[in-house]
Amino acid sequence: MSQSLASLQRYDFLKELGIGEVNSGACAGPEDWADVSGKELLEVISPIDGSVIAQVGLSSEKDYDHVIEAAECSFQKWRLVPAPKRGAIIRDVASELRRLKEPLGKLVTLEMGKIVEEGYGEVQEAMDIADFAVGLSRQLYGLSMQSERPNHRMYEQWHPLGVVGIITAFNFPVAVWSWNAMVAAVCGDTMVWKPSTKTPLCAIAVQHILNRVLKSHGGGGIFTLIIGKGARIGERMINDKRIALISSTGSTAMGRRVAEATSKRLARNILELGGNNAIIVAEDANLDLATRAILFGSVGTAGQRCTTTRRIIAQRKIIDDLVNRLVNSYKQVRIGNPLDSSTVMGPLVDQEAVETMIKALANLSSQGGKIVYGGERLKGPGNYVTPAIVLVPGNTQLVCEETFAPILYVMPYDTIDDAIRLNNEVPQGLASSIFTESLKYAEKFLSAVGSDCGIANVNIGTSGAEIGGAFGGEKDTGGGREAGSDSWKQYMRRQTTTINWSDDLPLAQGIKFG
Ligand code: UN1
């Protein structure tokens, strides 16, 4: 069953992705798009110029059940496919992503506004985790332990978990899904993806890729897609007993709701929520390096990464020099159409994001904040602002909140202990960095009394993590870990097995019974 999108403004690169031809609403497998007629339509607005680029039918309750049933049903077979064979299919997904890196990267830019270089980077990240998952498919190791009983063998093995629900945010409309989906797929799970309603086209384009690859392998229902609002479809997902794990990216408020619902039904969750990431710049830091890293961290993706650098904690002796350098760099940032390769900063995702930024800046002076650069709304169509640098005395109430916009707060410190305290003082705990040439400062920052974040870097900014490590953070960031390292374990169930190959029945703990 397939239907056209209600409307789609044509861009040449969309043709290559196939999303102008067949489409949308919900999809459970190859050739299985839901009918769009009679559906409530979602307008997809490009942040570049405010134009409506497409209308997408929102999935109905019936679509939802159809998709979940398809995922449940395909799990029965998929879990029996040897993991390296599952990996071989993911290898084909990676090849398709590689082939379509350019049009897909441009679609990311068109739909959410990050500059095209970052759009390509996002698809690269999806390819990277797919490659990682292919390797993983020949691993998924369990440990073997020494049994205390003679002629007994004890070990653990990992089995597929079930249906995984993936809820993603607008800012990484492809990469964050792939962190979950590529790994979950080789682990033998099937999944249901609910993308942000701000970026349904990226999800539709990806689903077309998946459908093509799966069809060539004679399958379907492993990756499924449902497009709907959080209040309806999201709520159904998090409360649905058929979904064993919910992996969710978004605000802390949303994450609390997911945690509540999944804990109530004792399901698993992976939460990747707000960040309020700081870079400590010590008196001995290489300021050239620090300035470049801060610029990428604070202005990259127009300040809309969860890893965006939001706070600079600068040693009092160098703070003026650093702020001057930052203001000079900010002045050179070319703001404009993100599809233009010379642009450094594109628009914010929507008008609401612009309002939120302007409102936060308006409240600053009452908290001792002083804008030293930017923070203006730019005239014309699209959601453009100038990135702001703000001097603050410390972690005021506003600084403690994550404003998803390019506002960089700069605060002074005197001792390294002060700097670490300031780094840790906010509710969130995702990414953190220190710029220093001192081994002692760096090691202290990384020690148990150092940064309390899930990511702690030295002479590298807070954003732009590689997929090989586990990604996520503590406190209000939700505690989840995705992508590399041993994150795969969350998508599988562990089974501890003891085998007795003796003719006796010794009990553990030396118990004599009967
Ligand atoms: C996010 O903002 O949700 O580390 C993910 C980074 C990227 C991923 C960000 N690799 O900045």
Does the Cβ of 268 fall within 6 Å of ligand 1?
no
Domain co-membership, 342 together with 373: yes
Task: Give the pLDDT band of residue 8 (cuts 50, 70, 90).
Answer: low
Domain co-membership, 59 together with 197: yes
Domain co-membership, 373 together with 225: no
The total domain count for the chain is 2
Mean pLDDT of 117-136: 98
Q: Tokens 């110029």: give the residue.
A: 49
Q: Which residues of 414-424 are buried (b: 16+ CB within 10 A; e: fewer)?
A: eebebbbebbb
Q: Which atom of ligand 1 is nearest to the CA of 305?
A: 2
Q: Kindly tell me the burial class for residue 148, based on how many C-beta atoms sit within 10 Å of its own C-beta (0-12, 13-18, 19 or more).
A: exposed
Q: DSSP E strands: which ranges in 284-378?
A: 309-315, 370-373
Task: Give the pLDDT band of residue 10 (cuts 50, 70, 90).
Answer: low
Kindly state whether residue 434 falls inside one of the protein's structural domains.
yes
Domain co-membership, 368 together with 442: yes
Domain co-membership, 420 together with 340: yes
Q: Which atom of ligand 1 is nearest to the CA of 272?
A: 3
User: Which of the residues 118, 272, 402, 482 is marked catalytic?
Assistant: 272
Domain co-membership, 363 together with 460: yes
* pLDDT above 70 coverage of the chain, percent: 97
For residue range 54-82, list pLDDT tens digits in order.
999 999 999 999 999 999 999 999 999 99
306 classed as catalytic: yes
Domain co-membership, 264 together with 283: no
Neighbouring-strand partners of residue 428: 475
Q: Which domain holds residue 95?
A: 3-273+480-494
Helix (H) or strand (E) holding 179: helix 175-186
Neighbouring-strand partners of residue 438: none
187 classed as catalytic: no
Domain co-membership, 106 together with 88: yes
Kindly state whether residue 510 falls inside one of the protein's structural domains.
no
CATH code for position 238:
3.40.605.10
Does the Cβ of 465 fall within 6 Å of ligand 1?
yes
Q: Which atom of ligand 1 is nearest to the CA of 169?
A: 3
Domain co-membership, 157 together with 23: yes
How many angstroms does the Cα of residue 74 sit away from the middle of ligand 1? 31
CATH code for position 298:
3.40.309.10
Residue-wise DSSP of 228-290:
--IIIIIHHHHH-TTEEEEEEES-HHHHHHHHHHHHHTT-EEEEE----EEEEE-TTS-HHHH
Mean pLDDT of 440-464: 98
Does the Cβ of 121 fall within 6 Å of ligand 1?
no
How many angstroms does the Cα of residue 484 sit away from the middle of ligand 1? 13
Domain co-membership, 268 together with 357: no
Kindly state whether residue 230 falls inside one of the protein's structural domains.
yes
pLDDT of residue 13: 83
Task: Give the pLDDT band of residue 22 (cuts 50, 70, 90).
Answer: very low
How many angstroms does the Cα of residue 332 sit away from the middle of ligand 1? 24
Does the Cβ of 303 fall within 6 Å of ligand 1?
no
For residue range 364-423, list pLDDT tens digits in order.
988 899 999 999 999 989 999 999 999 999 999 999 999 999 999 999 999 999 999 999
Kindly state whether residue 500 falls inside one of the protein's structural domains.
no
Tell me the whole-structure pTM to 2 decimals. Answer: 0.96
Kindly state whether residue 122 falls inside one of the protein's structural domains.
yes
Domain co-membership, 38 together with 140: yes
How many angstroms does the Cα of residue 436 sit away from the middle of ligand 1? 24
Q: 514 and 508 in contact (C-beta within 8 Å)?
A: no
Does the Cβ of 249 fall within 6 Å of ligand 1?
yes
Does the Cβ of 464 fall within 6 Å of ligand 1?
yes
Domain co-membership, 202 together with 53: yes
